A and B are shown apart, each in its own frame.
Chain A
Amino acid sequence: METPRAQSRFEGLFSSSLGNQRTAESSALEEEVTALFDDLRSPLHRYLASFGLTIQDREEVIQEVFLSLFLHLRSGKPRTNLRGWIFRVAHNLGLKCRDRNQRTLKIVSSADPLSIESHMDEAPDPEQHTSSIQHRERLLAIVKVLPEQDRQALFLRAEGLRYREIAQVLGISLGGVALSITRALARLRHAEV
């Protein structure tokens, strides 16, 4: 018969082994989440800029997204389409953050919802640079006046999301995504003529 002391030692060993296993799992998850962060931080920054969030807000939202992802994965929830999941959580947190800011504070300077537009890389050739700036400005002027859903659908597509993923992020049907993007493209096409 096992003595209480031996049992306790056994439990200690068992829990220590479990603890090590848990630590190893956590480390692997941390690595996985950090790798996804490396891949998606820039796309998320661009997307969240379209909500008119400051860089600090975007940074905080992104941190929260990946902390939530860690818990999501750790609790054994589905791993299918993590990119869509990440954008959906970022979209929801971005909306919350924007609502909170609108209720309490107003940004006085550089509060353009498309703040991304002032940071285009310079082209080496001055003529090409001027032409690309004009093209960009024309394009962004149109994008600015698109309905929010159309604009967000277009941005998400530009980030490489599939239509099904965009539908998931925006909480609309696949048909809704198709309508939004074709409407947006028609506006862009019309302006180029």
Chain B
Amino acid sequence: MRGPGIFNAEPITMRHDDGHFSDEVLLLALDGELPARLQASVQSHLAVCPNCRTRFQAIQSEIEDFSTTYRSLHKLSPPQRFSRAMLKARLAELGATPTQGRMDRMLQSVMLWRRWVYLGAAVLIAAVCGALLPVAFGPVWAAQTPDTDLTPGLTLSVSVKDVCSNTLEDAPEVPSQMAYEVFTQYGIHDPRPRDYEMDYLITPALGGANDIRNLWPQPYSAGTWNAHVKDALEDHLYNLVCKGAVELTTAQREIATNWIAAYQKYFQTEDPLPDHLGFYKDRPWE
């Protein structure tokens, strides 16, 4: 038996041949979403049918179990107060526009230039919360590898031929506004010039994208596994890819997933080679 008008777009089975209601009907009955007469009919049936009552309770409990597991997952980064403050700044800006037409234009402008608005809000927040934020974010940037949530690594759709024929542009200099945005996401609010390389996790020479999701502030002072050493790996991987010894996608994936492990694998060493500790390729951020 098929359902009444309310379900016409996607007819569902109402009752099985044995007269019991289908799972779909029991599911909708949970929220009281059925037409009143059908809802009453389901309730009457449940009162006298232990099998359907068991199915009804099982559906309810399966949804609750899944919801509990689902909601126990996930962590948030950056912290709520950061994005909340950003939203408030953007709302205040939007709220200051008095007319409908101007409001719409303002929203479009905000959407188009949202990265710049983000930056403005972030600088404002940094000024207000300067003393507190490093405490909250500090451990993130101290790492020798990037936060994979913030910097998963992105590539352009390029071939080995593109990469190795030197048709790709050199690593473009990161605009200072974008660099500040990256620093802010990593909780660095007063970066000292020349202490970091604004590093493309996947170097553009290997098809890495000029995108904030492919950028992270790599400190020169992060122990032996620092920006100099990663620069050496990038050059080595480029040569291996162009010799055909390593697949381009493998090189991209390995450097993005764990560049230190990639270095150890391709240089066959536990520690960085002495020559690489002072390797100089990309310019420091300043």
Contacts and interface: CB of A to CB of B under 8 A. Distances in A.
Interface in B243-275: 252-253, 256-257
Contact of B211 (A41, A59, A105, A154): A105
A144 interface: no
A121 B213 CA distance: 26
Contacts of B218: none
Interface residues of A, number: 69
Contact of A49 (B7, B74, B91): B74
A107 B33 contact: no
Contact of A175 (B24, B86, B118, B256): B24
A110 interface: yes
Nearest to A30: B91
Interface of B is mostly: helix
Interface string A151-178: 0001101111011100000001111101
Interface residues of B, number: 71
Given A56-B150, A158-B71, A74 B66 contact: no
Interface of A: 19, 22-23, 26-27, 29-30, 33-34, 37-38, 41-42, 45-46, 49, 54-56, 59-60, 62-64, 66-68, 70-71, 74-75, 104-111, 116-117, 119-121, 135-136, 139, 154-155, 157-160, 162-164, 172-176, 178-179, 181-182, 185-186, 188-189
Q: Which 5 A-B pairs have the closest CB atoms?
A: A175-B7, A173-B9, A26-B95, A176-B10, A175-B10
Interface of B: 3, 6-12, 22-25, 27-28, 31, 33, 59, 62-63, 66-67, 69-78, 80, 83-84, 86-88, 90-92, 94-96, 98, 100, 103-104, 107, 110-111, 114, 118, 148-150, 152-157, 185, 202, 209, 211-213, 252-253, 256-257
